[in-house]
Amino acid sequence: MENRDSEDHLESKGSSIEEPDIKRGKIEITGDGGEFVIIDNHKYYRHELMAAFGGTLNPGPAPYPSININPAPVGLVAFALSTFVLSLFNAQAMGIKVPNVAVSLACFYGGAVQFLSGCGEFFTGNTFACTALTSYGAFWLSYGVIFVDSFGIMKSYKETDELNNAVGFFLLGWALFTFMMFLLTLKATVAFCTLFGTLFMMFLLLAAGNLSGHVGVVRAGGVFGVITAVTGWWNAFAGVATPYNSYIKLSPIPMPGNILFHKKSS
């Protein structure tokens, strides 16, 4: 959406809003009824902006994309299913301790499909979704190849403790990245923020479990992973459900500070 179009639209309404002195990156609500939003010196009607929403992995107010497609749900379901299966293994459900069955999901669904969905978000202009989906798609690909013998990764470690510590460092790095992404959802919606909050806890517990050697901590990480997967499916459903295909409507619950849901006090 071009700024020129928005300004012409405002002028046709006879608006006499004074342009405030705003720094780049600042978001303000203005107008007698709070009907206008100013983002990076671009002025929009509130209804012309997308609110923060987990179904599109959009963490804040932004103009609607020019390409009418939402690649986020397929990335979310690919992430959710891969996380669900691996987390059940980490929680040792049904006594299963070897996670190798999850390698196929990690490579083809959680890895390749999610990475491609992130590339799709690149063309819609959604920087957050592109960063998240391509990164976690790469995570699944890189995690999956650890268990592929032809790569020789596991064979290169002579001791189990050394392997566990190496995997722990790997997971700790992803925990730090996820915490950064979590901070970017604090003004979004509850479901969106919960997705990255539980994912951060999953990575943190799995890293701590591998570094400390405590199986119980790894199993706790598996439990958080299952919660993360369910939350991912919830956000994906919200992204594809419409009044035309579903009787169920998931109304987003805004986090404090979500300016498209909450008006600033005058």
> What are the sequence ranges of the domains in the chain?
3-50, 72-240
How confident is the model at residue 9, as a pLDDT? 42
Is 162 in contact with 224 (CB distance < 8 Å)? no
Using the structure block, give the residue that is written with the tokens 């020789």.
152
pLDDT at res. 44: 60
Q: Is the pLDDT of residue 80 over 60?
A: yes
Contact 126, 119 (CB under 8 A): no
Which residues have C-beta within 8 Å of that of residue 265, sequence separation ≥ 6?
A: none
Model pLDDT for residues 96-127, shown as the tens digit of each residue: 888 888 999 999 999 999 999 999 999 988 99
SS (H, E, C) 131-171: HHHHHHHHHHHHHHHCCCHHHCCHHHCCCHHHHHHHHHHHH
Residue 10's pLDDT is 40
258 pLDDT band (50/70/90 cuts)? low
pLDDT 10s digits, 23-58: 334 666 666 655 566 666 666 655 556 677 788 888
Q: What angle do CA 44, 41, 49 make, to 5 degrees?
A: 25
Segment 132-151 shows an average pLDDT of: 95
